[in-house]
Amino acid sequence: MKVYLPSFVRGLIRETAKYIKKEFGSKSEVKFLQEVKHTIKLLGVNPYIGSVELTVPNKTIIYRSIVVAKRNKIVYTIRDNIVDIFTFWDCRRNPKTLASQIEHNNQLVDLQHQLAETKHQLTLAIKMLLSMGASPDLIAQNTGLSIDEINAL
């Protein structure tokens, strides 16, 4: 199963790693990052390993979570053969704010999925135009892409 890790969640993980390095040293940071990476790989193999997240009530989406490095958890959903990671959460925070963060992050994830789909459709359209003999220069003028980006497709 594919695991989708949005850039804003990567940022949360980096912030936590930076804090760990500052407070506990480089070895602790490396150990932490290894554990996060291992857990994310585990989710790709067995997405149901996490438990249902009861602090995020939602009637249409089942959120799951898995604890990482004792004080953090990854909150995610499983849909369309994809594990969507919604947040990286410090468990020492107020659990009531988790639901509002998940809702906000849910909107970000939806937008990122829409952007990825749009990019995919644009790529297919450009490939079709190129196969029909359209000039990369003309495509570049109309899409805002560079010639190099078009030729890389």
Are residues 141 and 41 in contact, defined by beta-carbon separation less than 8 angstroms?
Answer: no
Contact 153, 119 (CB under 8 A): no
What is the model's pTM?
0.66
93-138 residue pLDDT tens: 776 666 666 666 666 666 666 777 788 788 888 888 888 888 888 8
Q: In this predicted structure, what is the pLDDT of residue 109?
A: 67
Q: pLDDT tens, 18-75?
A: 999 999 999 999 999 999 999 999 999 999 999 998 777 666 788 899 999 888 999 9
Domains of the chain and CATH, by start: 2-152 (3.30.2310.20)
Q: Is 61 helix (H, G, I), strand (E, B) or coil?
A: coil
CA distance 27 to 47: 29
Output 142 or 16, whichever has higher pLDDT.
Answer: 16
Half-sphere exposure of 56 (CA within 13 A, CB side): 26
